[in-house]
Structure 1
Amino acid sequence: MTKPDELDRPGQVVVYSSRSPGKPSANEDAAAVIARNSDEGVLIVADGMGGAAAGQRASSLTLDALQQAVCNAGDDVALRTAILNGIESANQAVLEMRIGAATTLAVVEVQGNTIRPYHVGDSAILVVGQRGRIKLLTVSHSPVGMAVEAGVLDDTAAMHHEDRHLVTNAVGTVEMRIEIGPPLQLSTYDTVLLATDGLFDNLSINEVVEVVRKGPLGRALERLADLTHERMAGVEPLQPSKPDDLTMVAFRLVPS
């Protein structure tokens, strides 16, 4: 995803996905890393909804639509355009299932050391510096997410809120809307994390930042997964415990 004559710092990408502990049905999450060329790529996380088979199909269709749109776009088509076309195609494909399926979606466009976020629903995108400074955190399309953004709820109260599971925007709905963030230039060792709500329903933002900002990227995701599954198991009585599928994609700029 890097162009040597413009950026001599290669990027690392790690993907993690697991179904909810004790869940007999398939994982409804999906993730993908698409390299368009040596300088451009796309990171994707989707969280299917509508029941096991329907949710899994919705997230899978969405990734397929995005992959086709990105990979089939000509060199004269901007990556942003390909991504937006892919999301629109995914929305139509899921709607045509006609079984009430839907999926959340988090997408990050990578061009050299610059990224741009896109999201639909409550799968989140976080960008954090090596010292722990949060450079980007998307706002979930949900009542609780909007309340946190407005300052009505803090992070702790939000994690325990009874309406945490409600989502107001999804791929596979007639009124789907795509939120597009501004371009963001990354510095060396900045980490980009895309994750389904299985992560942020169980760990606070500060906990996630502290783990993901440092150390080998693969080990950081393993640690996040371990901590999340401990919470899902309910071993800490005062902490939130919401078993769910868990999927994460992390990208980090490193020196060559």
Structure 2
Amino acid sequence: MDEPEVLSHDQGRVLAFARTCPGKQDPNDDSAAVIGTLDGGLVLAVADGVGGAPVGHKASAIAMQCLRDSVASQTASGDLRPLILDGIERANSEILELAIGAATTLTVIEVQDRVARGYQVGDSMALVVGQRGLIKWKSTSHSPVGYAIQSGMMGEDEAMHHDERHYVSNLVGSKSMHIEIGPAVRLAALDTILLASDGLFDNLHLDEVCALARVGPPIKRMRSLVDQSTQRMHSEHGKPDDLSIVMLTP
């Protein structure tokens, strides 16, 4: 994509952007989805097919398709959790049935009546950030480095340059897959939700992401995130990668 796509919804404005890794000839391994629900809610998702694994792009696309089909099966207003969990489980089964070692990360946030809840498999990330930059909720990366950050054993700067930052310990397409469910987060009027593949979070610090994601018109926020992460990818310590971002703003 050359420019972010902007969608209007009862829950706010949704912006989405996707771009293949600079210089990469293979397909983009990322996939993203913005899914409206029967009762006016939203399901936002980003998946990152495992680089180096067979058809990572197909694994991430399967995850989006299974999630969309499951949410679309909703027949009455109510809890989305069973549908989202079922969609992820179906994706895991379908990817395993390929029997070629394909796998993907997956991060999902549902929003209903201004209440958000996240679902996590792998190291794509999601966060809810307030108007003043306070992180109200952040997913935990399912990786040795991610758990080290969460426990306070490793700082963010050290993690971004760690030799094992690419290792992921939980994936859709694994017999041992598990789904982490986040708490319900009541959204204030000016809160922003952001989901992205590691093309963003491996190149920008959290405080940089929060600063860029919360200030200015939504389209300017998204362009700033894309521009800054792309610039960092081309720097000495950057990590060139596919980049996908989905953002919900007031």
TM-score, normalised relative to structure 2 = 0.93
Counterpart of 1:7 in structure 2 is none
3-state SS of paired residue (1:20): coil
CA distance in 1, matches of 2:182, 2:224: 28
* Residue 53 of structure 1: how far off its partner (Å): 6.0
The answer to whether structure 1 residue 109 and structure 2 residue 110 are counterparts is yes
After TM superposition, the runs of 4+ consecutive aligned structure 1 residues lying more than 4 A away are none
Q: 1:241 matched to which residue of 2?
A: 238
Aligned partners of 1:50 and 1:101 also within 8 Å: no
Partner Cα distance (2:197, 2:38) in 1? 27
| Amino acid of the structure 2 residue aligned with 1:122 | D
Give the corresponding residue for 1:58: 59
SS at match of 1:96: helix
Cα shift readout 1:188-220 (whole Å, capped 9, x = no counterpart): 110000010111111000110110011112211
Q: Distance in 2 between matches of 1:70 and 1:17?
A: 22
- Distance in 2 (CA, whole Å) between partners of 1:98 and 1:165 is 23
How many residues of Structure 1 are paired with residues of Structure 2 in the alignment? 242
CA distance in 2, matches of 1:94, 1:50: 15
* Residue ranges of structure 1 left out of the alignment (5+ in a row): 3-9
Question: Is 2:177 the counterpart of 1:176?
Answer: yes
Deviation (angstroms), 1:30: 0.3
Distance 1:62 1:215 in 2: 32
Q: 1:207-239 CA deviation, whole Å, 9 max, x = no partner?
A: 1011001111221111111111111111xx4xx
For the 8 Å contact 1:28–1:52, the answer to whether it is kept is: no
Query: Is the contact made by 1:50 and 1:100 (CA closer than 8 Å) also made in structure 2?
Result: no
Does the aligned pair in 1 maintain the 2:35–2:42 contact within 8 Å? yes
**C-alpha separation between the residues in 2 aligned to 1:96 and 1:185?**
38
Correspondence for 2:204 = 203
Instruction: Say if 2:239 is the partner of 1:251.
Output: no
Deviation readout 1:105-125 (Å, 9 max, x if unpaired) = 000011021010001000001
Supply the distance in 1 between the matched residues of 2:199 and 2:167 (Cα, whole angstroms). Answer: 13
2:199 aligns to what SS in structure 1? helix
Letter in 1 for 2:247: A
Q: How far 1:73 moved relative to its partner?
A: 2.5
What fraction of aligned residue pairs are identical, expressed as a percent? 47
Distance change >3 Å, CA 49–CA 244, structure 1 → 2: same
Aligned to 1:216: 217
Structure 2 segments unaligned to the other structure (5+ residues):
1-8
CA distance in 2, matches of 1:50, 1:123: 13
**1:26/1:52 contact within 8 Å kept:** no
SS at match of 1:135: strand
CA shift digits 1:56-77 (9 cap, x unpaired): 1000011000111000122166
Distance change >3 Å, CA 76–CA 142, structure 1 → 2? same
The amino acid that maps onto 1:162 is D
> 1:201, 1:169 → 2: CA distance?
18
Structure 1 equivalent of residue 165 of structure 2? 164
SS of 1:165's partner is coil
TM-score of the two chains, using structure 1 as the length reference: 0.91
Measure, in 2, the Cα distance between the counterparts of 1:88 and 1:218.
34
Show CA shifts across 1:79-127 (max 9, x none). 1111001000000011011110000000001102101000100000111
Displacement, 1:50?
5.2
Distance in 2 (alpha carbons) for counterparts of 1:76 and 1:211: 35
CA change 1:69–1:170 in 2 (3 A) is same
Confirm or deny: 8 A CA contact 1:54 1:101 kept in the other structure.
Answer: yes
Partner residue in 2 for 1:6? none
Determine if contact 1:26/1:53 at 8 Å carries over to the other structure: no
Secondary structure in structure 1 of the residue aligned to 2:166: coil
RMSD over aligned Cα atoms: 1.3
Give the conservation status (yes or no) of the 8 Å contact 1:29–1:46.
Answer: yes
